Amino acid sequence: MATQHFNVYIRGTGGGLPEDWKRAMHAPEEELPKLSKEQSEIAKRMEIAEKDYARGVLAGTYAEQRNKIRGELLGERVDQILSGLGPGYVLSAVIREATELRWIARIATPKGIRDVVIPLELAEDVIDSPALEVLERLRRLILPAVGREELVVGDAR
């Protein structure tokens, strides 16, 4: 993998997947995170054992790590598309907004910064599938958003 020149940010984890929770539930106690004073107080107010609350925190950490890797993969696909546009088009960040069910590609263009909203379903398809038609769907989203609509040929909708 080439040196990554963009950042990946995760805003919320969306609760994590069942795999994140299963992994956290089976983690040895010594791997559980130490709770902050605020987290300990929340666990006490909610009448949850600190160990159980720590497992929830750990599940969130696992979800964030998984999403960060997925964001790197999505960013690589966006970079593939931008590479054909010239040096004035650079991906600076990929942002996961879990509560909004979307990713955002922050792209520097000759006319300024553009935030391209990528719906979660398309992002998941792009990350999980090497199929050219999936990458083409992403390309058809990105090109008009960065002011290069003239490169979109035909309409595959």
Structurally, how many domains does the chain consist of?
A: 1
More confident residue, 57 or 150: 57
Q: How far apart are CA 112 and CA 133, in angstroms?
A: 29
pLDDT at position 150 over 50: yes
Inside any domain, residue 139: yes
Inside any domain, residue 109: yes
Inside any domain, residue 100: yes
- Give me the pLDDT at residue 79, please: 95
pLDDT at position 26 over 50: yes
CA distances from 14 to 35, 55, 78, 121, 149 (A): 21, 16, 23, 14, 33
**Which residue range(s) make up the domain with 74?**
7-146
Inside any domain, residue 152: no
What is the average pLDDT value for the chain, to the nearest integer?
Answer: 91
Give the angle subtended at the CA of 47 by the CAs of 42 and 48, to the nearest 5°.
80
Inside any domain, residue 156: no
Inside any domain, residue 59: yes
